[in-house]
Amino acid sequence: MPVTRRTLIVSSLLAAGLLVGCGKKTETDSDTLVVKIGSVAPLTGPQAHIGKDNENGARMAVDEINAQGLELGGKKIQLMLIGEDDQADPKTATIVAQKLVDQGVQAVIGHLNSGTTIPASKYYHDAGIPQISPSATAIAYTAQGYKTAYRVMANDEQQGRVLGQYAVTGMGAKRIAVIDDRTAYGQGLADEFEKAAKAAGGEIVAREFTHDRATDFTAILTSIKGKNPDLLFFGGMDPQGGPMAQQMKRLGLSAGLLGGDGLQNVNFIKLAGTDAEGVTASSPGLPLEAMPGGPDFKAKFEAKYGVIQVYAPYAYDAVHVLVAAMKRAGSSDPAKVLAELPNTDHQGVTGQLKFDQKGDTQGGAVTLYRVKDGQWTVLETVQ
Partner 1 sequence: MDIFLQQLINGLVLGSIYALVALGYTMVYGILELINFAHGEVTMIGAMVGLTVIGLIMGLAPDLPGILVVLGGVLVAIPACMLLAYSIEKVAYRPLRKAPRLAPLITAIGVSIVLQNVAMLVWGRQYISFPRILPEGQYELLGAHISYLQIFIVVLSLSVMASLWFLVQRTRLGRAMRATAQSKEVAALMGVDVDRVISATFLIGAAIAAVAGVMVSAYYGLAHYYMGFMLGLKAFSAAVLGGIGNIAGAMLGGMLLGIIEALGAGYIGDITGGFLGSHYQDVFAFFVLILVLVLRPSGLLGERVASRA
Binding residues for partner 1, per CB under 8 A? 45-46, 182, 206-211, 213-216, 218-220, 222-223, 225-226, 238-239, 242-243, 246, 250-252, 267, 270-274
Nearer to partner 1, 225 or 320 (CB): 225
Nearer to partner 1, 12 or 223 (CB): 223
Nearer to partner 1, 108 or 371 (CB): 371
Nearer to partner 1, 210 or 331 (CB): 210
The nearest distance, CB 195 to partner 1, in angstroms, is: 16
The nearest distance, CB 378 to partner 1, in angstroms, is: 24
Nearer to partner 1, 212 or 333 (CB): 212
Nearer to partner 1, 116 or 332 (CB): 116
The nearest distance, CB 222 to partner 1, in angstroms, is: 5
The nearest distance, CB 80 to partner 1, in angstroms, is: 30
The nearest distance, CB 290 to partner 1, in angstroms, is: 29
The nearest distance, CB 230 to partner 1, in angstroms, is: 17
CA dist., res. 212 & res. 234, Å (int): 12
